[in-house]
Amino acid sequence: MKSGKAVGPDDIPVEVWKCLGEAAVEFLASLFNRVLESERMPEEWRRSVLVPIFKNKGDVQSCSNYRGRKLMSHTMKLWERVVEARLRKVVEICEQQYGFMPRKSTTDAIFALRILMEKYRNGQRELHCVFVDLEKAYDRVPREELWYCMRKSGVAEKYVRVVQDMYERSRTVVRCAVGQTEEFNVEVGLHQGSALSPFLFAIVMDQLSEEVRQESHWTMMFADDIVICSESREQVEENLERWRFALERRGMKVSRSKTEYMCVNEREGSGTVRLQGEEVKKVQEFKYLGSTVQSNGECGKEVKKRVQAGWNGWRKVSGVLCDQKISARIKGKVYRTVVRPAMLYGIETVSLRKRQESELELAELKMLRFSLGVTRLDRIRNEYIRGTAHVGRLGDKVREARLRWFRHVQRRDCYIARTGVTGAPPWSQAWGWGTQASAWWPSLCLRDSAGHSPKKRRRPTFP
């Protein structure tokens, strides 16, 4: 666990166990063995504090626009990580699930979706995508369904009872700015902020969608974010209804207002998608896992979002970056740590043009000039600005990220994104097109590798 996290009701931070070293390891091993044998954890671990956090969108007075986070015992979280490691050795989650899986991230899901959309655009075929949103997914998971899914996944009965014990007699209080409520029991849903809950939710989603996944091959999941892709509007509507039935019959609920539909390479009169007679909102762009995908294949809006995210990060640390008492080297380090990751998020999956790459570099140079107190009237070249702040060209970082991602895709044999890059589209055999690889991404990687030099050059600085 990382240090600096908010403590639970027992006020014991994880730093205590880190400082004790080997003595803590021996004590915790003995404690966890006793908990595993008795299948009963200490009563103090059952208490938690629920803190509502605003989502930064919608009405601030609406409870639905807040996300609850539980402050739990750090020692219990260590116990949860032990149980999670045991469960991951037994349970096999499907390839379509990207959320909270080892060696997978949001970038994997974004890349797989972009590659699939690119294939259908190259083949002049329509691709219909429905982005499904579940209402309060973690809070709606029925406990009985969780135990059923664990047993069906092959989890030993002893570990099912251990997890059941974690949820028995769990109590919490809600803490806000004006105080906290009385303690009450929590009898439904998974623990928010728990180390084990993400994997338990993945088990539930894997079992609930086992049958419907066979009908819709190009389906991607990141925890409760589901993308259903099909070649026709009728087919995607039928698959959406299958998913709704499979999820809602087990206690989950599909959000009608937040579920959206997008058609790639749309022809005239493609129509709309309905869910139980209610029309699903049709969009031309969608923010999927923080990255904006557009139905026309362009990435201009995603570049603007990256620039905006960079400026938002810059404003958060502007007190440091604009302080004249702080050295340029420290400012550059803060910039590389806070601002640049926001600008480069998911950028390795985007087919950037030279003009769009220049937009990113221009925004970066503006931030660096503000930080160093330099204006254009000073007539200082960009190379000296970067050298003084010890910040390399953003375009070089984009190419490095793309090459790093290329290797990540190539070294994994059983990987849906690699199939999307090198394999044939689902409709190619019927049309006799054979294997058609996505054009832009391999060509970009080839160009990047040809122009990439691993040697570092000393950048000039100004006094």
On whether residue 57 sits in a domain, the answer given is yes
CA 450 to chain CA centroid, Å, is: 31
pLDDT at 140: 87
**pLDDT tens-digit series, residues 310-330:** 999 999 999 999 999 999 999
What's the rounded mean pLDDT across residues 425-444?
50
State which of 232, 265, 294 marks the end of a domain.
Answer: 294
**Is residue 81 located within the same domain as residue 217?**
yes
Q: Could you give the CA distance from residue 117 to residue 113 in angstroms, rounded to a whole number?
A: 6
**Is residue 266 located within the same domain as residue 317?**
no
Per-residue pLDDT at 153 exceeds 50? yes
Structural domain count, the chain: 2
* Tokens 């390891």 belong to residue: 25
**pLDDT tens-digit series, residues 60-99:** 888 878 888 889 999 999 999 999 999 999 999 998 899 9
Q: Could you tell me the pLDDT band of residue 429, with boundaries at 50, 70 and 90?
A: very low
**Is residue 43 located within the same domain as residue 69?**
yes
pLDDT at 214: 78
pLDDT at 316: 94
On whether residue 456 sits in a domain, the answer given is yes
**pLDDT tens-digit series, residues 188-208:** 899 988 999 999 999 999 999
**Is residue 303 located within the same domain as residue 289?**
no
Q: Could you tell me the pLDDT band of residue 427, with boundaries at 50, 70 and 90?
A: very low
**Is residue 308 located within the same domain as residue 280?**
no
**Is residue 213 located within the same domain as residue 261?**
yes
Per-residue pLDDT at 433 exceeds 70? no
**Is residue 281 located within the same domain as residue 312?**
no
pLDDT at 164: 96
**Is residue 382 located within the same domain as residue 287?**
no
Domain of 353? 299-463
Q: Could you give the CA distance from residue 331 to residue 373 in angstroms, rounded to a whole number?
A: 12
* Tokens 């699903």 belong to residue: 280
pLDDT at 290: 93
**Is residue 280 located within the same domain as residue 403?**
no
76 in Cβ contact with 162 (< 8 Å): no
On whether residue 8 sits in a domain, the answer given is no
**pLDDT tens-digit series, residues 176-189:** 888 889 999 998 89
What's the rounded mean pLDDT across residues 224-232?
92
On whether residue 418 sits in a domain, the answer given is yes
**Is residue 260 located within the same domain as residue 367?**
no
SS3 category, 53: strand
Q: Could you give the CA distance from residue 240 to residue 234 in angstroms, rounded to a whole number?
A: 10
State which of 269, 294, 319 marks the end of a domain.
Answer: 294
**Is residue 375 located within the same domain as residue 249?**
no
pLDDT at 391: 93
**pLDDT tens-digit series, residues 206-224:** 999 988 887 777 889 999 8
What's the rounded mean pLDDT across residues 375-391?
90
- CB neighbour class for 334 (10 Å; exposed up to 12, middle 13-18, buried from 19): middle
On whether residue 2 sits in a domain, the answer given is no
pLDDT at 155: 96
Q: Could you give the CA distance from residue 70 to residue 8 in angstroms, rounded to a whole number?
A: 8
On whether residue 5 sits in a domain, the answer given is no
State which of 266, 294, 322 marks the end of a domain.
Answer: 294
**Is residue 289 located within the same domain as residue 305?**
no
Its pTM stands at: 0.87
Per-residue pLDDT at 108 exceeds 80? yes
How big is the chain by its Cα radius of gyration, in Å?
25
Total count of residues recorded for the chain: 463
Q: Could you tell me the pLDDT band of residue 138, with boundaries at 50, 70 and 90?
A: confident
CA geometry: angle at 238 spanning 237 and 240, to 5°? Answer: 65
On whether residue 9 sits in a domain, the answer given is no
Q: Could you tell me the pLDDT band of residue 417, with boundaries at 50, 70 and 90?
A: low
On whether residue 1 sits in a domain, the answer given is no
Q: Could you tell me the pLDDT band of residue 365, with boundaries at 50, 70 and 90?
A: very high
Q: Could you tell me the pLDDT band of residue 339, with boundaries at 50, 70 and 90?
A: very high
Q: Phi-psi region for residue 384, left (φ > 0), alpha (ψ -120 to 50) or beta?
A: alpha
29 in Cβ contact with 68 (< 8 Å): no
